[in-house]
Every structure is written in C-alpha cells, then in structure tokens.
Amino acid sequence: MELDTKISIATGILTAIIFTYASVAIRDTPFVWYQTRLFGLISYFFLFMTVLIGELRVLSKDKSRLKIFRFHKPIAIFSLFLVLVHGFAAVADNYKWGAQLSFSQYLGFSFGDKWLTLLSFGTLAFYLMILVALTSFKRSVRALGYRRWKRIHYLSYLLFAIAFTHAAGLGTDIKHSQISIVIYPLVYASMLIVLSLFLARLAHGAFKLSDQTEINLTAVLFCALVIGAFLFVKVKLMLEDDIQKARFEIENRQKAIGLANNSLEEAIEANARLSE
C-alpha cells in the first residue's frame, strides 16, 4: 500500500474519531446541525475532485505527465471518511433532522416522500463509495480482473449523480443560507463539468481520438454545450417564472381596480339618493 494511501486512511480514521465524539457531545445544540452541513459540503467537493482527477487521467494520452493523479486514491479514501462523519452527525443530531427521523430511515431504503427519498440517495451514494473504495486496491484489481474492476468503477458516475441529487435537493447551504450565492453555482458547475468530461470520454472511446489537442477541444466543446444548455434552460425557467408573477400581479391589480370602480359607483349612487 502506497504511503499516500496510508496517510489518507490514518488521517480519515483520526478525523472520524474526533468528529464522531464531537457529534455526540453537541447533539442537542445547533452546532451539530452546522457540523452535518459542513461535512456534507466538504465530502461532496472531495468526491468531485476524485471524479475530476480520474476523468482527466482517462482523457490524457500521456498518463505519466498527470502528476496530480497520485492524489486520486488518497482523496477518494479520505472523502469516504468525510461522508461517514457527515452521516453520523446527521444520525446523532437531536436538534433538527435526527430528532424527527428514526435510525432505520437513515439506512437508504425509505422512499415514502420526497425528503426521505433524497435522504436515502445520500446513504445509497455512501454504499457505492464503499464498494468503489474497497475495489481500488491493487489486490482487489488482481482478484477481480481489469474488466470487472473497470465496470465497478463506472459506478462512480452513478455515485456522483446520486450524491449531487442528494446535495442539491437537501443541501441547506446550496439553497437557503447566506453562502448559497457561492455554493449553489459551485455545486451545479461541478455536476456540469463531470457530465461534460463523461461525454468527452464517450466521444474519445467512440471516435478513437489519438491527438491530445483533439481530446482537449472535444472536452471544451462538451463543456460549452452542457453549460450553455443548462444556462438556456435556467434562463427560460426564470423568464417563465417572471412572466407568471407579472400575470398574477396584473390580475390582482385588475381585481383591485374593479373593486375600486364598484365602490366608486356605489358611492355615486348613495350620494345621488341623498340628494333626492
């Protein structure tokens, strides 16, 4: 086992022990809620870095020049411990979520409503992380064979998609907190980048691109197309929402004008009767 991997495991275990104890100590305070949110965000971006580095290596013709790949496995393993802390803090929480949910609902098989489904997605992503992590060691690769190992690691895309859905659907700091203005675009940008690189990878495999410049241009093209499509849909939805609000406001004003006219007519009629 490489030194980087050993350090990652040791650091992950130490982090998990410290913050697991902290979760229990602060379980009745708002701080356990902050800890849950913090480790949720950190673990998501560590997972993103894991997938990103893996994709960059696949799209690189000269694998040896991608020095950052040495951190791929350590980051992946450490992100697993971060997710573990995130999940344990949520379960230990006696202040917000944990006070309302049973332990069984955290196991990933509760789909009774939208919120439980999104919560279960987070747990299912954790299960997939364990599977991918356990098959990342050289001994596992030899036991499985390269083809089986590669098929299992394709689950990383599904894992990231599920984790994104969990984060975007439940993440307080993505939608409702003061830092949402920063976190929201970062989270969505990460998903668009992974989707773009995945499409570039499919194109690379389908067309057998041999030149690194062609691969890079393909990746940039898909990034532009995916981000452009996302922005188009986002702006379209925003415009439709604004139009709907404008129509609602116009209808309310028309009703108010109608009521005012009726009141004015009644006042005129009353004055006319008094004059008689």
What pLDDT does 162 receive? 92
| Residue environment code for 41-66, b if the CB has 16+ CB neighbours within 10 A, otherwise e | bbbbbbbbbbbbbbbeebbeeeeeee
Whether residue 145 is predicted with pLDDT greater than 80 in this model: the reply is yes
**Angle CA 76–78–84, to nearest 5:** 110
Q: What is the pLDDT of residues 217-232, one digit of tens each?
A: 777 777 777 777 777 7
Local confidence band at 14 (pLDDT 50, 70, 90 cut-offs): very high
3-state secondary structure 41-71: HHHHHHHHHHHHHHHHHHCCCCHHHCHHHHH
Q: Which residues have a Cβ under 8 Å from the Cβ of 191 and sit 6 or more positions away?
A: 160, 161, 164, 168
What pLDDT does 254 receive? 78
Lowest mean pLDDT among 14-18, 137-141, 258-262: 258-262
Q: What is the pLDDT of residues 74-122, one digit of tens each?
A: 888 899 999 999 988 888 888 877 777 777 777 777 777 888 888 888 8
Q: Which of 35-44, 106-115, 214-223, 257-266 has the largest mean confidence? A: 35-44
Q: Which two tokens stand for residue 208?
A: 């057998």
pLDDT mean over 177-183: 84
Q: pTM of the prediction?
A: 0.80
State which amino acid sits at residue 53: I
